[in-house]
Every structure is written in C-alpha cells, then in structure tokens.
Amino acid sequence: MDEKLIELVTQQVLAALGGETKESTCCGACNGSCSGKEEAEGIRIGVSVRHLHLCPEDFAILFGPDAELEAMRDLYQEGEFAAKQQVALVGPKLRTIAPVRVLGPLRKQTQVEVSRTDAITFGINPPVRPSGNLEGASLITIVGPKGSVTKPVAIRANRHIHMNEADAKKFGVRDGELVSVEVQGERPLVFREVQVRVAPNFRLEMHLDTDDANAVGAICGMQARIVKEAK
C-alpha cells in the first residue's frame, strides 16, 4: 500500500476506532449474544469473532513506541484479555473491516484470525490452522493510529477445545487428538476434526468462529459434547 492510501485508511480507522463496539462480557471475543450460562456437564462453547494477536515490534509500529497494551476485560482463558486497543484490517482489494479488537498479552508473532466470511470480504483465502501455525497464511494489512503493518499472518483458526489434564483424563483424550463434537443448537450439528489442546492452566472450552457458530445457532455458554461416531 502506498503512503497516500495508508494515510487515507488511517484517517478512516481513527474515525472508526472512536466508536463503541457491542461485545459480550463473558469471554471477550464472542458475537455479542452471550447467554452467560455455564453448566456442570458438557463442554462450554466460546464463539470467537475476528481478532488479532500482536508481537511487541508490530504493536509499537501500530500504536507508537511508548504505548502499552491496556486490558479492557479478562477472557475466559486464564491470563488472556481483550485489550482496549483496536485496529483496521485491509485486504488486497482494499476492503476494510474495523474496528477489530487486539487480544493480549503480546505474543512472539503477530496473528490475525478471521472467518471464511471475513476472508471473502477481504478477497483472501487464508488456510485453516492451529493457533501459532502461520504456514501459508494470507497477506493482510493492519492499520493502527500510528502506522501500518503488512504481513502474511491471516488464518482461519481450527476448531479446538481447551482443557487441562484432569479434563483430558475425564474425556479419555490426549493433546493434539482430533475428535467429533456434537452441538445441540437451533440446527444440531456434529463438528469433526476438532483439535484437543491440553495445558495445565486451560479452562474447559470449545472455540468456534462465527461461521461455525451461526451454522448451528450457537452462542457463548452453550454446551457441547464429544461423541464417538460409528465407523
């Protein structure tokens, strides 16, 4: 993107970032229609809208060298939070989506997570990848109040379940295993190839992007269950 175009987009971003966004208070990254309900049985669903993670170098370019990432609200997973900072995302067809929330804390590498619907808007075809795997990621421009960054960092996050060792033992699964998960929403559906992610500090939660959630009518706080399918 040339300097004049970046300046124009930045002006639009600053105007967009001055507004309020409707977000739920349950997980910080849901679609704004959260039930806030948790149940003892089953696996809690978290609906994840488009968002991004930033490395320190890119954060400084976007928000200035003296800026600090400010927490707005804790997320469901321990130690993670929705930040006050927001950006605009610009695809190669110069189509823009803004504002887009930055999630913290800062990471070793920048990563933009979008849905298939978002990708069509941008004119890109990002691969489905686990978080942290940017192999084949699509090129996208991130515009902040102080600058912009263009990098191949856009992916569609794979369906996955966060759980700790006790949860894994309970469900009889292991880290990295792919399972099928049933969601009883308005249009019941079984999601296949859902990756199990096990870590000591994880809280039990399945993450779906907005396309998957809309397909079944799922909202944050609904319950899902791992199912064994006949072969």
pLDDT for the residue numbered 35: 42
If you average pLDDT over residues 143-161, what whole number do you get? 98
Q: How far apart are CA 114 and CA 68, in angstroms?
A: 24
Q: Show the tokens assigned to 182.
A: 């049933």
Kindly give, in sequence order, each residue whose CB lies less than 8 Å from that of residue 11, ignoring residues fewer than 6 positions away. none
Q: Is the pLDDT at 24 greater than 80, yes or no?
A: no
pLDDT for the residue numbered 185: 80
If you average pLDDT over residues 19-37, what whole number do you get? 42
Q: Tens digit of pLDDT for each residue in 29-50?
A: 453 434 444 444 699 999 999 9
Residue 39: which of 184, 157, 177, 173 has the closest Cα?
184
Residue 83: which of 59, 61, 66 has the closest Cα?
59
The answer to whether 82 and 53 have CB atoms below 8 angstroms apart is no
Q: Give the predicted TM-score (pTM) of the model.
A: 0.84
Q: Show the tokens assigned to 10.
A: 């930045």
Q: How far apart are CA 219 and CA 210, in angstroms?
A: 9
Percent of the chain with pLDDT over 90: 79
Q: What is the DSSP string of 75-95?
A: -SSTT-EEEEEEEEEE-TT--
pLDDT for the residue numbered 14: 56
Q: Tens digit of pLDDT for each residue in 69-120?
A: 999 999 999 999 999 999 999 999 899 999 999 999 999 999 999 999 999 9
pLDDT-derived band of residue 186, with 50, 70 and 90 as boundaries? confident
